[in-house]
Amino acid sequence: MKKIHLQIICMAFTLLFLSSQAAPGAAVQAQTNLLQNPGFEFPYHDDGAATGWVRWDRVSSEDQFDDCANGYHKRPHWTPETASAQFIHSGSVSQHVGNNWDTWAAGVWQTISVTPGTTYRFSVYAKGRGSNETVPTPSEGGLQMNVRIGIDPNGSGLWSDSDVIWSAAGNPHDQWQHFALEATATGDKVTVFTAADWGVEGVNQCRRFLDVWFDTAELVAAAPPPTNTPPPAPTQPPPPPVTNTPVPPTDTATPEVTPTETAVPTDTPSPVPTTPPGGAVCVNAFADDNANGLHDDDEGFMGNVTFTLASDDQVVGQAVSPGSDSPVCFDGLEPGTYEIAQIVPSRLEMTTAANASIAVEEGQTVGVEFGSRIRTDVTASPESASSDTVASNATPAGIDDVAGEEPTSSTNLSRLSGLVVLVLAVVLLGVLIFLVLRRAT
């Protein structure tokens, strides 16, 4: 009887151990981080950049502290941050970029070998501080540090390359903020950038301390390259269709007035429509099912596509396509040349170029339509397919954080298996207790 009891105890503990390994909530294997030294740890180069990273900056002039409102840029300093734990997000070091009194625009970059056609997600944590006083005096919340991250899908290593896709700008005063962005590699390399810009035209931003810290970066494959795609996507995507036909402004989105503000939908149209001074850009995304780069009559519209409008390296506005025939419009634009770009979710692939350069004139509304379709390597049910073609209130990728993915069927199965094993272990323990009590009586 003792031998039977011993066998039951061994089986019960074995099942309990297995259930602990397969219990609900078990961690899914993390994706491979492709970056070199993603935590900005030691050693550092002599120029102050962390190993694996290269510094960049935009220098427009020498010291012009006597005219701080002209948005000038002077070269900052790159240093490893070890003095205070509040400026380290993970590990033992963070990458510091900063200046005293003189405004600056700079960051670090890294070029990585990748698989062409694969969509990659780049993310990093950033924290900033601007003040005339030392810590612990809080950062001046009204200052604009314009922190962004970027991905060059062709891996040129040039921050000024027109192909670089930039995220929306943020101002993480005294707190770590997560910036994330996705882009599809057009070659065998991509370049990722961190950036901040304290030089704002027309605003006095000169302070004794103008600092930004970067830490905990990641570059992972967000989606595999498409395979066996009929019909094939064009090797050189055509530019998105652009029209100069006046398009009535809608109430879907309001344009940003500063690089730090996001286009906000409004449900209350003006009783009497008025045309703001300047020009307008109205943009939408269509479901290009046949990948010909044209919006055919039998093709609908695509939702959850993020649009970013920029001028002179400054983000003017950002909005998300609603998945209907109502475009999102940016009104009151100064006449000039603008860059409009699309960022698609990882389930989609672009069938037109990722961005377009457009000229805006006074009193003119320019219409732009970007094309994309659901990737053929994604198994889509009717329910999941519709999620990309209707309006969504989800935060677009590249702003703050990226929404988590739904658990896969394999994950659900492993969780169910863990529950079954756990139940069996409890039953065996119950049998053991019953036998011991019976023997005692």
319 in a structural domain: yes
**pLDDT recorded at residue 20:** 47
State the average pLDDT over residues 178-207: 94
Rounded to 10 deg, the angle between the 409-440 and 2-22 helix axes is 160
CATH number, domain with residue 71: 2.60.120.260
Is 147 inside any structural domain? yes
For residues 218 and 247, membership in a common domain is answered with no
- Of residues 418 and 99, the one with the higher pLDDT is 99
| Pairwise CA distance, residues 345 & 198, whole Å | 30
Residue 40, pLDDT score: 98
Residue 397 lies in a domain: no
The predicted pLDDT at position 258 comes to: 47
Q: Which two tokens stand for residue 416?
A: 């169910």
Q: What pLDDT score was predicted for residue 90? A: 95
Is residue 33 assigned to a domain? no
- Residue 374 domain flag: yes
Residue 409 reports pLDDT greater than 90: no
Bridge partners, residue 98, by sequence: 77, 211
pLDDT on residue 224: 67
- On whether both 368 and 417 belong to a single domain, the answer is no
User: Residue 127: which H helix or E strand, with range?
Assistant: strand 119-131
Do 89 and 219 lie in one domain? The reply is yes
Looking at per-residue confidence, does 267 or 46 come out higher? 46
Which residues does 202 contact at the CB level (< 8 Å), separation at least 6? 69, 71
- Quote the pLDDT of residue 30: 62
Q: Look at residue 143 and tell me if it is in a domain.
A: yes
Long-range pairs of 384-388 with CB within 8 A, sequence gap ≥ 24: 387/303, 387/304, 388/302, 388/303, 388/304, 388/323, 388/345, 388/347, 388/348
The predicted structure's pLDDT at residue 377: 65
- Does residue 156 form part of some domain? yes
202 and 89 part of one domain: yes
Domain that holds residue 110: 54-223
377 and 413 share a domain?
Answer: no
| 352: CATH | 2.60.40.10
Contacts of the segment 55-64: beta carbons below 8 A, 24+ positions apart: 55/97, 55/106, 55/107, 55/108, 56/106, 56/107, 56/108, 56/109, 56/159, 56/193, 57/104, 57/105, 57/106, 57/107, 58/105, 58/106, 58/159, 58/160, 58/197, 60/199, 63/102, 64/102
The more confidently predicted of residues 368 and 231 is 368
Helices H / strands E in the chain, number of each = 3, 19
Residue 245 has pLDDT above 70, yes or no: no
What confidence tier does 400 reach under pLDDT thresholds 50, 70, 90?
A: very low
pLDDT at position 88 over 50: yes
Q: Which pLDDT belongs to residue 229?
A: 47
**Among 165, 188, 223, which residue terminates a domain?**
223
DSSP for 379-406 reads ---HHHHHTTSS---SPPTTSS--PPPP
Is the pLDDT at 342 greater than 80, yes or no?
yes
How confident is the model at residue 410, as a pLDDT? 41
**345 and 281 both lie in a single domain:** yes
Task: Tell me the β-bridge partners of 342.
Answer: 307
CA pair distance 358, 265, nearest whole angstrom = 23
Q: Are 69 and 204 in contact (CB under 8 A)?
A: yes
Give residue 285's pLDDT band: very low, low, confident or very high (50, 70, 90).
very high
The Cα 407–Cα 435 span in angstroms is 41
Shared domain for 268 and 296, answered yes or no, is yes
Whether residues 380 and 426 share a domain: the answer is no
Q: Determine how many CB atoms are found less than 10 A away from the CB of residue 44.
A: 18
Asked if residue 435 and residue 374 are part of one domain, the reply reads no
Mean pLDDT throughout 8-29?
47
How much is the average pLDDT of 214-235? Answer: 72
In this prediction, residue 437 carries a pLDDT of 65
pLDDT attached to residue 389 = 43
DSSP of 59-121 = ---S--GGGTTB------EEEEE-S-GGG-SSSS-EEEEEESSS--EEEEEEEEE--TT-EEE
Q: Which residues, other chains included, contact 214 with Cβ-Cβ below 8 Å and sequence gap of 6+?
A: 40, 94, 95, 97, 107, 108, 124, 125, 126, 194
pLDDT of residue 271: 52
pLDDT, average across residues 416-427? 65
DSSP secondary structure of 336-382 = EEEEEEEE--TTEEESS-SEEEEEE-TT-EEEEEEEEEE-TTS---H
Domain count, the chain: 3
Phi, psi of 191 (to 5 degrees): -115, 135
Work out the average pLDDT over 11-39: 62
Banded pLDDT at 252 (limits 50, 70, 90) = very low
pLDDT exceeds cutoff 60 at 365: yes
- 314 and 423 co-located in one domain: no
Whether 296 and 147 share a structural domain: no
pLDDT for residue 212 is more than 80: yes
Helix (H, G, I), strand (E, B) or coil at 18: helix
- 198: alpha, beta or left, given left = phi > 0 and alpha = psi -120 to 50? alpha
Q: What average pLDDT is seen over the chain?
A: 78
Residue 290 has pLDDT above 70, yes or no: yes
Residue 391 resides in a domain: no
Which of 220, 182, 224, 222 has its CA nearest to residue 35?
Answer: 220
Claim to verify: residue 120 and residue 58 sit in the same structural domain? yes
Among 134-148, 262-276, 335-349, the range with the most confident prediction by mean pLDDT is 134-148
Average pLDDT over residues 122-140: 96
